[in-house]
Structure formats: structure tokens, C-alpha cells
A and B are shown apart, each in its own frame.
Chain A
Amino acid sequence: MLGVNNIDVGYNKSRVIHDMSFKVNPEEILVIMGRNGMGKTTLLKSLIGILPSTSGSIKLGDQEIAGMDSYQRVRSGIGFVPQGRMIFPSLTVTENILSGARGNVAQSTWDEIYALFPVLHEMRKRKGGNLSGGQQQQLAIARALVANPKILILDEPTEGIQPSIIKDIGRALKEIRNMRKIAIIVTEQVVSFMMDVCDRVLVMERGRFIHEAYRDSLNSDKIKALLAV
């Protein structure tokens, strides 16, 4: 599905991601755990092309995407939900969703989105900037979905969001995977959310993976220990 090989990513001279390689399997929810500042956001930015990798390759299916602009990567099949949501504050909810679409959005897609996130239907005429954090998070996911991604990437979707909505988001992610048969990468710090959604987990420390576990052999205490300072 997605194959990342030996990528380096950084800001000017300081390298944050070191010679990193990993694969994402079809229809898998991969959770990448790591404390603040370990390089999760940097990694995801390099996948979507906001911060291009300086070496190595990123393959989506058979297609090499490492040299592409962000918008081309989206068109190739990467959906991106950034940390902090980054919805367009003065566009309405509907306009925010449309901004992610090419051409018209099929009625079935609207139905799917509103079934996943009923609150977006109620709020559809409101400005994105006037939504709560949880609603904005749902909006950011919907915006990524209308481009029909083959793989959805989310950066700390639970950050700063109240527990009841965190549950909704976990449920939505599993439903998206089941309905659309796509792969999902999520970065996280919250172990309970990871336990809820993951098929596999990778733990990141200072730009490298230090632990990998599949759902059936997962030890949450071990992961908690790795995340403790």
C-alpha cells in the first residue's frame, strides 16, 4: 500500500527523521505513538509533501510520490488531517468540505459524511472558525474524505478534544476503514485511543522507531513505559 524507504526529513540543517523505513498494509490502521517533539508531525508532513523528504523514496502502490507537490500527492490518493485541524476559519462547513473535492461531490458521499458526523449537517452553514475543536476535527476528516483517498493520515486527532468526541472519532475511523477499505495512519500520545483503534503500533523516539507490535500481541503497559519520560 504505502512503502517508505530510508527517508530523511528536517528543518534546514537540523535533521528530525533519520533514515526511516516502514510499510503500511492495505486496510490497516497503523498508530504511531511518541511523546511531544519526537518527530511525528515532521514525518507526516513529509508524507503529504508540506516538508519534503531530502532522500529516500515514498511509494503509494507503484507510484513514487516523494518528489511531488502536496496537491499532486492528494490527487494520487493521500488524505491529510493535520495537527490542530487547520480548517479554513471563514469558509462555511460545506465550503470547507468542498475545498477538498475535485469536481462535484456525489450525493452518496454527502450521505456517508453526514452519517459519520451528523453534527456537520446541523452546522453546514456555519463558519468553520465558529465550530468547537471536536467539530472542527470531524470537519477536517470529512474534508480529507471527499478526495477519495487510498490512505488517510491523521496527526494527533484527539489533541485538545473532549472524551465523548474522542470516542466518536475512534468509531468513525474504524467505520471509514471498514466501509472504504482504505489504510489509515494515526499519530497519537493517548494510549487508550490507540488501544481502541489500532491494528498495529509503532513507537517513535527522536526520529526513529524503537518498538513495533500487532494488535494481538500488544502490551499496553510496555507502550506506556516507552512513552514515560
Chain B
Amino acid sequence: MFGYTWSELSSIFVMQSFSGFSLFSVLLLMALGLAIIFGQMGVVNLAHGEFMALGAYTVYLCSEIVHKHIPALAPYYFIVAIVAAFFAAGLVGLFVEWSLIRFLYKRPLDTLLATWGLSLIMQQAFRSIFGAREVTPTLPDWLMGSFKPSATIDIPINGVFVMGLTLLLTFGVWLFMFRSRTGLQMRATVQNRVMSGAVGINTKLVDRFTFSLGCGIAGVAGAAFTTIGSTGPDSGSRYIVDTFLVVVFGGTASLLGTVASAFGIAQSQSILEFFLKGTMGKVSVLTLIVIVLMIRPKGLFASKVRS
């Protein structure tokens, strides 16, 4: 098949799967943030990709600072940088909700326009601050190595690390949504905003928090992104389309749906990419998604509870 032997094919399969893991991680975190915001407030955040880029730039900034001033910490800084990326994106998200988004609820078109404008502003800001050229943080050596379980298979550690981080964060978000009081208030507000107010929930505060949380998760996606690509002002906009695919495919209602759909899209894209040219891989995935959506218009994992 394609001029490869079966054993070569299976090695390629395994390795592309692992490189798919990194893509999966970025897509999943992006989609998680986007879906939380959309599910909660009906806001389609077209600037979501820029929050990812913000996270990536934060990691770059941490890298620069640490390598210049405290090189002793260089092996460990990446962990701290991930946390910093979360808070940087989260805080900017908080400010954006407060200064812009909250005036546009119930006006979806204006929101689209405003968040698109915001994405342009953020891109320009990145360009002014970090320059038009792509930047790469210096990643610690331990992150750049690889396992070699057999002669033909090479598994990058950063892919495994980023995937672990993603699963941890996803689990954390799940715990937060289903075990904390704020999570409960978020779920109540999604289901019935008016009634949530009438049982004493400050839904505007819940909105602000949700938007900020979604942006913070995008920031972590950006941190994960630095392990597979270099960051430029328009890095975010290149991921936003794939992220929307994941959300549409998985449905906004279920975490499992988002995970499965991010996994499916990242893996098929990454494996197909090896055999077809990059764009062909994308087109095939897109075709597959369109077919699935025709069969299951509400996404693969629409939830069923009578109201």
C-alpha cells in the first residue's frame, strides 16, 4: 500500500498517532474553552485563537526572562510558564468580558463582529510587541527527547507530556464543573438563565468567570502549542477553524463529545497528512465531518434529558 511494507506502515501509524497527540491536545483545550464559553453564554468568540497565541507568547516571555536572568531555573520554567499562560489569558479574558462582551449579550451578530475586531486588535498588539516574525521558546532538554521502543518507532516526549497535561486539565475542568459550587452555578445558568437568577445565582458574575476560564484554557492550549510549532501573530487564527470543527462535531453539551471529536479529528488529520498532502488531509476530514453531521445534526454526543 502506497509502496510501504506492513511493518513500515504500522510504525508510521504509531508515530503519526503520537504526533497527532500534540495536535489533539491543542485542539481539545481550544475546543474546551470555546465550548464552555459558547455553551454558557451563546457567545462565539472569534478571538479565541488569539487567546491561545497569548498563552504561547507568555511561555516565550517566561523562557526569555528565565534564560536571561535566572538560567538555573531553565529546566523547570516550562511548568511555571503553563500556569502563567493560564492566568495571563484568563485575566485578559476577564477584562475583555467586562469591557466588551457583557454589553453584547443577546446580540449574536454584534458579538461576532466585536470578537472578530478584537482578534485583529490582539494580532496587531502581538505584532507590535513581539514583532512579525515567529518566535520559539527555548524548551527544556528533557522535554525534547524521545523514546525508542523499537528501531523504527520514535515517540517524542513532548507529545506525551502535552497529552498528559491536557488530560489532567480536562479532568480538572470536569471536577470543577461537577464538584464545585461555581461549577454547579454554571451548569444551572446554562440550563435556565432566568430561573438561575430567580434562585439567587448572580448570572452576570458567572458569565464573567466562565469567559475568563475559557480564555485561560485557551492560554494553556497556547502553551501546549509551543511544543509543536513556533508562535506568530496569526498562529491563533490558523487554529480557530479546526477548533470550530471540533466543537460542531462534538456538540457543545458534552465533555466526552468534545474529547472524542478532538481526538478523531486530530488523529485522522495527522495520519492522513502523512499519506496525502496536508490540505488533502484536511479536506478528507472535513468531508467526514459533513457526512457525520448530516446523520447526527446535533453532534455525535447530544445529551438526552427531558425538560
Contacts and interface: CB of A to CB of B under 8 A. Distances in A.
A211 interface: no
Interface residues of A, number: 27
A90 B305 contact: yes
Contacts of B197: 49-50, 69-71, 74
A100 B306 contact: no
Between B185, B200, B303, the greatest number of chain A beta carbons within 10 A of the residue's beta carbon is seen for B200
A90 B303 contact: yes
Q: Which 10 A-B pairs have the closest CB atoms?
A: A74-B200, A70-B197, A89-B307, A100-B199, A129-B305, A90-B305, A86-B195, A99-B188, A88-B191, A70-B198
A127 interface: yes
Given A89-B306, A130-B305, A130-B306, A99 B198 contact: no
B305 A74 contact: no
A48 interface: yes
A144 B303 contact: no
Given A129-B305, A130-B306, A88 B188 contact: yes
A95 interface: yes
Interface of B: 181, 184-185, 187-188, 191-192, 194-203, 303, 305-307
Contacts of A69: 197, 202
A143 B305 CA distance: 20
A101 B199 CA distance: 8
A147 interface: yes
Between B185, B198, B306, the greatest number of chain A beta carbons within 10 A of the residue's beta carbon is seen for B198
Contact of B199 (A74, A90, A127, A129): A74
Given A71-B201, A88-B191, 5 more contacts: A50-B197, A70-B198, A88-B195, A91-B187, A147-B200
Given A71-B200, A74-B199, A130-B306, A91 B194 contact: no
Contacts of B306: 89, 129-130
A89 B202 contact: no
B60 to A, nearest CB: 41
A84 to B, nearest CB: 10
A82 B305 contact: no
A71 B201 CA distance: 6
Contacts of A88: 187-188, 191-192, 195
B199 A147 contact: yes
24 contacts: A48-B198, A49-B197, A50-B198, A69-B197, A70-B197, A71-B198, A71-B202, A71-B203, A75-B200, A80-B198, A88-B188, A88-B191, A89-B305, A90-B191, A95-B187, A95-B188, A98-B181, A98-B184, A99-B199, A99-B201, A100-B200, A129-B306, A129-B307, A143-B199
Contacts of B199: 74, 80, 99-100, 143-144, 147
A107 to B, nearest CB: 17
A82 B196 CA distance: 12
Contacts of A129: 305-307
A102 interface: yes
Contacts of B305: 89-90, 127, 129-130
Contacts of A100: 199-200
Interface string A88-111: 111100010011111000000000
